[in-house]
C-alpha cells in the first residue's frame, strides 16, 4: 500500500483492491455482518447505493450507536421529508425554522401550463451541462424519463428548474455542480426539517490541535522531532451526497427538464438543492466520525467533520502506524462500499 500512500489524492492513485477486500472481510467478522443478500429485487426507478447497508446496520448494532435508521436509508432510500418523515435520533439539535408557506403545483399541472425550461446557466454552459449530466447518468445517479412516464408515475410530484455552477481550477480542469432549485418550485417548502446541522468552526480545528499538544506536553524535544511529527490530513469525499439513494416514494419530487429534448431527468440519488440533503448526509458523516473516533485513543488522533470534508490530526506514525490507514487509501468509504 506504499504506492497508494504516496499517490493518494492524485489522478495516479490506484487502489489495492485485494487489500481493501481483505480489510472489509475482517471488519465484517468483527461487527457481525452477514453480507449482502444474494437476491436483491428493486424497482426500476430506485438507485442502488454503493454503500453496504448490512455492514452499516451490523456496525451500528455492535457499537450501540443511536442513529439506527441509516442502514434502512442506504438500503431502501432516504426520505426527503416531503412524503416521508425524517425521524430525529437526537444527534443534532431541534430545528427552530419551519418551511416557508408556498404553494406547490403538481407535476401534471406544471406540464399543462406549458414548456418548462431550466435556468440560463444551463444554456450558457451547455457543453459542461451535458458532460456533467452524462457523468451522473453513467454513475446511475440520474435517469432519463419520458413525458408519458411522468404523467403515469410522477404526476403528483414536483418539477424543478436545473442550474449549473462551473469553476475552473488552478490546473485548468473544470469543476461542475448541478443544483435542483426546489425552493422556487415549492418542493422544499413541503419538506419537514426537524433537526438542524451543527458544523465545526475554524477555531474548533485549532482547539483540536491544541488539545493533542497538551496531552503530549511531557514528550521530550527529541521525541517531538522524530516520533511526534505534527500532521494534518484532509479527506474530501467525491460525490458525497449521491452515495445516499432517494426513497422511491420521494422520487416524484426530484424531476427536472432535460437539457435536450422534451423529456425529463429523474434524480434518484441525493443532490444539492434538496433542503434536507445536508442534514441527511451529515447524519451519515457524523455516524462514521463517531465510530472511527471511538476506534482511536483520543490522545493519538482527533478529527473534525464538515459535511464531506474530514480533517484528521493523527499522532506519530512510528508509535501507531495503524492511524495512518487514511494515507493508504483505506478510508471509511472504502470499507463501507469498496469504492471511492
| pLDDT 10s digits, 239-280 | 899 999 999 999 999 999 999 888 999 999 998 888 899 999
Specify whether the CB–CB gap between 49 and 70 falls below 8 A. no
Task: Kindly provide the residue ranges of all beta strands, DSSP E only, lying in the chain, ordered along the sequence.
Answer: 142-145, 161-168, 174-181, 233-236, 255-257, 264-267, 301-306, 309-314
Bridge partners (DSSP) listed for residue 126:
none
| pLDDT at site 35 | 73
User: DSSP letter at 252?
Assistant: G
| pLDDT at site 324 | 45
Confidence of residue 337 (pLDDT cuts 50, 70, 90): low
pLDDT tens for residues 205-246?
899 888 887 876 656 666 666 655 667 888 888 889 999 999
Whole-number CA gyration radius for the chain: 22
| pLDDT at site 225 | 62
Task: Give the closest residue to 258 by CA, choosing from 147, 99, 93, 338.
Answer: 147
For 98, the grid coordinates are 419551519
Q: Which of 99-103, 104-108, 136-140 is modeled with the greatest confidence?
A: 136-140
Helices (H), 65-125: 70-76, 107-112, 120-124
**124, pLDDT greater than 60:** yes
Share of the chain above pLDDT 70, in %: 78
Q: Which long-range contacts (CB under 8 A, 24 or more apart) does 330-335 make?
A: 330/1, 330/19, 330/20, 330/23, 331/235, 332/288, 332/292, 333/51, 333/237, 333/243, 334/15, 334/20, 334/23, 334/24, 335/20, 335/23, 335/24, 335/27, 335/55
Share of the chain above pLDDT 90, in %: 39
Burial of 194 (0-12, 13-18, 19+ CB in 10 A): middle
What is the average pLDDT value for the chain, to the nearest integer? 81
Specify whether the CB–CB gap between 268 and 244 falls below 8 A. no
**53, pLDDT greater than 70:** yes
| pLDDT at site 322 | 44
**210 φ, ψ (degrees, to nearest 5):** -65, -35
For 307, the grid coordinates are 459535511
Inter-helix orientation angle 53-63/17-31, to 10°: 40
Place of cell 472481510: 25
Query: In angstroms, rounded to a whole number, what is the distance separating the alpha carbons of residues 248 and 77?
Result: 7
Amino acid at each position: 500500500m506504499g504506492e497508494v500512500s504516496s499517490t493518494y489524492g492524485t489522478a495516479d492513485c490506484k487502489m489495492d483492491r485485494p487489500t481493501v477486500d481483505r480489510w472489509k472481510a475482517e471488519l465484517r467478522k468483527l461487527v457481525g455482518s452477514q453480507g449482502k443478500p444474494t437476491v436483491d429485487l428493486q424497482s426500476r426507478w430506485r438507485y442502488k447505493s454503493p454503500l453496504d447497508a448490512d455492514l452499516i446496520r451490523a456496525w451500528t448494532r455492535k457499537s450501540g450507536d443511536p442513529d439506527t435508521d441509516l442502514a434502512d436509508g442506504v438500503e431502501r432510500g432516504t426520505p426527503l421529508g416531503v412524503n416521508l418523515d425524517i425521524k430525529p435520533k437526537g444527534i443534532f439539535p431541534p430545528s427552530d425554522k419551519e418551511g416557508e408557506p408556498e404553494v406547490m403545483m403538481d407535476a401534471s399541472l406544471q406540464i399543462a401550463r406549458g414548456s418548462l425550461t431550466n435556468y440560463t446557466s444551463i444554456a450558457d454552459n451547455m457543453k459542461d451541462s451535458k458532460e456533467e449530466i452524462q457523468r451522473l447518468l453513467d454513475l446511475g445517479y440520474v435517469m432519463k424519463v419520458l413525458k408519458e412516464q411522468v404523467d403515469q408515475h410522477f404526476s403528483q410530484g414536483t418539477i424543478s428548474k436545473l442550474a449549473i455552477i462551473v469553476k475552473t481550477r488552478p490546473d485548468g480542469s473544470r469543476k461542475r455542480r448541478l443544483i435542483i432549485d426546489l425552493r422556487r418550485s415549492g418542493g422544499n417548502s413541503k419538506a419537514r426539517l426537524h433537526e438542524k446541522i451543527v458544523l465545526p468552526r475554524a477555531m474548533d480545528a485549532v482547539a483540536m490541535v491544541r488539545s493533542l499538544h497538551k496531552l503530549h506536553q511531557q514528550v521530550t524535544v527529541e521525541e517531538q522531532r522524530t516520533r511526534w511529527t505534527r500532521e494534518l490530513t484532509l479527506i474530501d469525499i467525491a460525490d458525497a451526497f449521491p452515495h445516499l439513494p432517494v426513497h422511491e416514494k420521494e422520487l416524484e419530487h426530484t424531476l427536472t427538464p432535460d437539457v435536450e429534448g422534451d423529456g425529463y431527468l429523474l434524480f434518484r440519488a441525493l443532490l444539492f438543492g434538496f433542503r434536507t440533503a445536508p442534514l441527511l448526509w451529515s447524519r451519515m458523516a457524523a455516524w462514521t466520525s463517531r465510530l472511527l473516533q471511538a476506534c482511536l485513543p483520543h490522545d493519538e488522533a482527533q478529527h473534525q467533520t464538515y459535511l464531506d470534508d474530514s480533517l484528521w490530526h493523527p499522532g506519530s506514525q512510528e508509535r501507531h502506524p495503524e492511524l495512518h490507514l487514511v494515507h493508504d487509501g483505506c478510508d471509511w468509504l472504502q470499507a463501507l462500499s469498496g469504492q471511492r
